[in-house]
Chain A
């Protein structure tokens, strides 16, 4: 247990569905991250929130919409996804953004788009 939880752990959705992934951290951290891990590419940073403000949007398609209502919760809203969006989506948190601050990862949500 790293103190970062993600729900659901597995999700299957059609291309016309709308769903949301949830991440919660119990570590008192101020920065939260979404990563995408797919079989064919290295781990990709998608979004970074620092003190609930989005500070990094790494050229992610608009069908992915993040939301950070407070420093403990992070959501990834999904709509009209494509099959190539099937991947493991990992959430992480750290005390602050910056290389010296360790990122703690959740177990991920395995997403399959049919």
Chain B
């Protein structure tokens, strides 16, 4: 099946690191993504990683990919209250129209001051 799974909720203190985890199913996924959704808004692409990479760093964000275990994680360093949002992991699945995104259910990150 095409299931992308994430834990529902994560709570951290301001200044700590946050780690959001995701497992996916399709070993042929070429790209894996992290999107952020703030209240009342659509999804915003945070970062993505190509499947032949193990790690990608972009300022406070670090993405780790374990292809063998089909596990993806997003680490946010020095988490701020403005990082409170829902974070979605997505994998690309080949469909008739080309590679399409399949999303996980989202992890709600709450950052406490």
Contact = CB atoms under 8 A, between A and B. Distances in A.
B99 A42 contact: no
Contact of A42 (B31, B40, B103): B103
Contacts of B98: 55, 97-99
Interface string B1-40: 0001000000000000000000000000111000000001
Nearest to A48: B97
B77 interface: no
Interface residues of A, number: 23
Nearest to B5: A42
Interface string A88-114: 001010000111101111111000000
A106 B29 CA distance: 25
Interface stretch (B53-61, B68-76, B88-96): B88-96
Contacts of A86: none
A98 B100 CA distance: 6
A107 B41 contact: yes
Contact of A45 (B40, B44, B88, B100): B100
Interface string A33-74: 000000001110100101000011000000000000000000
A42 B106 CA distance: 7
A113 B4 CA distance: 28
Interface residues of B, number: 25
B99 A106 contact: no
6 contacts: A45-B102, A90-B42, A90-B43, A97-B98, A102-B45, A103-B101
A2 interface: yes
Given A4-B42, A42-B105, A55 B97 contact: yes
Contact of B96 (A4, A55, A103): A55
Given A48-B100, A99-B99, A107-B42, 16 more contacts: A4-B42, A41-B105, A42-B102, A43-B88, A48-B97, A55-B97, A90-B43, A92-B42, A92-B43, A97-B98, A97-B100, A98-B98, A99-B30, A102-B45, A103-B101, A106-B42
A97 B104 contact: no
B44 A2 contact: yes
Nearest to A40: B105
